[in-house]
Amino acid sequence: MSGNEAIAATWGSLKPAHAWLNLVGFVGLVVVASLLHLAPTVAGTRMRPRPSGRLAVIGIAIGAPLVAAGFGFQLDGISRAGAAVVLAGGHGVLLHGIAVARDGSPGRWTTDPGWHRLTGGALLAGQAWLAMGLLMAAARVLVDGASPAGWSLAPLLGPLLIGGVVQVLVGAMTHLLPAIGPGNPGRHAAQRALLGRAATGRLAMLNAGAALVTLGSWPVAAGAVGSAGGTLVAVGLAAAGVAIGTSLALLAWAAIGPWPGVRGLAGGSSAAAVGTRVGAAPDV
């Protein structure tokens, strides 16, 4: 880029456009669309079309390219219009999470409470953080338009990346490995027991870390390096890093562990393997 003066001169507007297309438009859309199918399954409720899900997907799919185009061509009106659409999409993500939680809340799992707590909690909290990150990003563009002040990655590190995307990935991988991964019911049961260890503590650390990074990133983004904001970010990153690192280590061991004593087990249904949800409202 340094050899191309034209690109270098416009990098201040191209960088936000690139970020909106990749972080919000691609990563955000893939995660949100996946949640429409995975979140109800993890919560033990019915997977069905919801208006909030359609709003979330349409809002991101249409709004993110509009914001990117506004930054790329320095058109405040286009950026603000796209941000308004993304704002609606962020509300859709939040409403979808609430709807799934409400549908699954009356019941309780008969087996593997730690595993269910981690997977369900991570996807539920992840949707809330994703919505917050989208709303924050859109609100900033609505206020500042297509100027460089309308975009900064630092304030979105906590809600959009750590609390949202990373937490959803951890929850999804923790659910999918023993649910559809290779092995027999005995191996899957051992994996669920392992992956459910310290579920509440890991969830608390990850979300507390995301909250601290979110709170501290505002003064850091404003240039207050070394202030209390920087300390909050450092502590939050450390807490989230421990929680994420522990979860990834458990996932790795669950995938490659020898699991002695379970090779001879076979048969059984997947519903029996992961338990059933009792007391939940019937599907209608």
The overall average pLDDT reported for the chain is: 86
Place of tokens 């909250």: 211
Residue 114 in this model has a pLDDT that exceeds 90: yes
Using DSSP bridges, classify how beta strands 108-109 and 277-278 pair: parallel, antiparallel or unpaired: antiparallel
- Grade residue 230 by pLDDT with cuts at 50, 70 and 90: confident
- What is the rounded distance in angstroms from the CA atom of residue 41 to the CA atom of residue 212? 30
φ, ψ (nearest 5 deg) of residue 147: -90, 160
Amino acid at 10: T
Residue-level pLDDT at 217 = 87
From 188, 150, 203, 206, select the one nearest 268 (Cα to Cα): 188
What DSSP designation does 147 have? S
HSE at residue 90, side-chain half, CA atoms within 13 A, is 24
- DSSP class per residue in 185-251: HHHHHHHHHHHTTTHHHHHHHHHHHHHHHHHHHHHHHTT-TTSHHHHHHHHHHHHHHHHHHHHHHHH
The beta-strand segments (E) located in the chain are: 108-109, 277-278
> Please, which residues bridge with residue 277 across strands?
109
Task: Report whether 184 contacts 195 (CB < 8 A).
Answer: no
* Cα distances (angstroms) measured from residue 83 to each of 59, 94, 150, 218: 9, 16, 11, 20
C-alpha torsion sign, points 73, 79, 81, 85: positive
Residue 282 in this model has a pLDDT that exceeds 90: no
Residue 261 in this model has a pLDDT that exceeds 70: no
Residue 203 in this model has a pLDDT that exceeds 60: yes
φ, ψ (nearest 5 deg) of residue 190: -65, -40
Write the pLDDT tens digit of every residue in 47-84. 889 999 999 999 999 999 999 999 989 899 999 999 99
> Please, which residues bridge with residue 192 across strands?
none
Residue ranges covered by each domain of the chain: 11-262
SS3 content of the chain, % helix, strand, coil (to 5): 80, 0, 20
Write the pLDDT tens digit of every residue in 181-193. 888 899 999 999 9
What DSSP designation does 4 have? -
Q: How much is the average pLDDT of 105-128?
A: 90
CA 91 centroid distance within chain? 15
Give the chain's largest Cα–Cα span: 66
Q: Is 266 helix (H, G, I), strand (E, B) or coil?
A: coil
Amino acid at 128: A
173 vs 149, which has greater pLDDT? 173
* Whether the model pTM is above 0.75: yes
- What is the rounded distance in angstroms from the CA atom of residue 129 to the CA atom of residue 168? 10
